Structure 1
């Protein structure tokens, strides 16, 4: 059995990345210690329903 700690954070959509004719969200957030994290989602989005800055 593996112990897990789960925390949550509020991220900001900073861009859409187009790859293989699909759109992926680039998101930035900060950890509870203030470390900035930026990632691109693994799942493509179906439409630009959100806006950069949301």
Structure 2
């Protein structure tokens, strides 16, 4: 993930709180946690192939 493209993401306030807590529990930033969640979902479904 060398090149990163910024974009706006709207989340329900309760979902955001849950992501923030999860990120803190794993010593990640909220942004880093969201990147990790998306990457894991893509890998699990076979939609992400690392170069």
- TM-score category (smaller protein): under 0.3
User: Which one has more relative contact order, counting CA pairs under 8 Å at least 6 apart?
Assistant: 1
Higher helix share: 2
Higher strand share: 1
